[in-house]
Amino acid sequence: MKACKYCKAESVVERGIMFTDFDGVASRTCWKGECQAKYHAELDHIEFRTRRTLQVAGKCIFKFPGAFCTKPSITGEVYCREHLTKRCHVCGAQAVRICPKKDWGDCNLPLCFAHNHVHKYYH
């Protein structure tokens, strides 16, 4: 039985989020606020480590939903030729990621760190 990684509750066998933790171990977290905060902090650490590893290896760190570009970056830069020319859809600054919304298909709008793209759904 898989328990919550953070509070050790056994009730998450059928519920919760399965993820690969910082050490590469398959883990599960429950929906409690404290556990979710720790889960999101761990995801941030994993993303930072991945980004730093790619930078050291000379790979592009442009962020797609769920992955990084990983093409060879231009010397002295952290992005490949294609992503170095992408600009934020909102303000025109250097884009660092693609809109993370995936619920209704891929948006593919480039965004900087400061902006999010608001999706309006019509029913």
What is the tens place of the pLDDT at every residue in 5-64? 888 887 655 578 888 888 888 888 888 889 999 999 999 999 999 999 999 999 999 998
Cα distance between residue 104 and residue 85, in whole Å? 27
Q: How confident is the model at residue 1 (pLDDT cuts 50, 70, 90)?
A: low
The better pLDDT of the pair 1, 82 is held by 82
Q: In this structure, are 70 and 47 located in the same domain?
A: no
> Which of 27, 56, 85 is the endpoint of a domain?
56
pTM of the model: 0.73
| Last-in-domain residue among 56, 73, 101 | 56
> Are 65 and 117 in a shared domain?
yes
What distances in angstroms separate CA 84 from CA 54, 92, 98, one per listed residue?
15, 12, 13
Structural domain for 69, as ranges: 59-123
Residues 38 and 69 both lie in one domain? no
pLDDT for the residue numbered 81? 92
Q: Based on the fold, state whether residues 51 and 65 are members of the same structural domain.
A: no
Domain closes at, from 9, 26, 56: 56
Split into its structural domains, the chain has a count of 2
Judge if 52 and 112 occupy the same domain: no
57: which 2 tokens? 């290896």
| Sequence-separated (6 or more) residues with CB below 8 Å from residue 47 | none
What does the pLDDT read at residue 99? Answer: 82
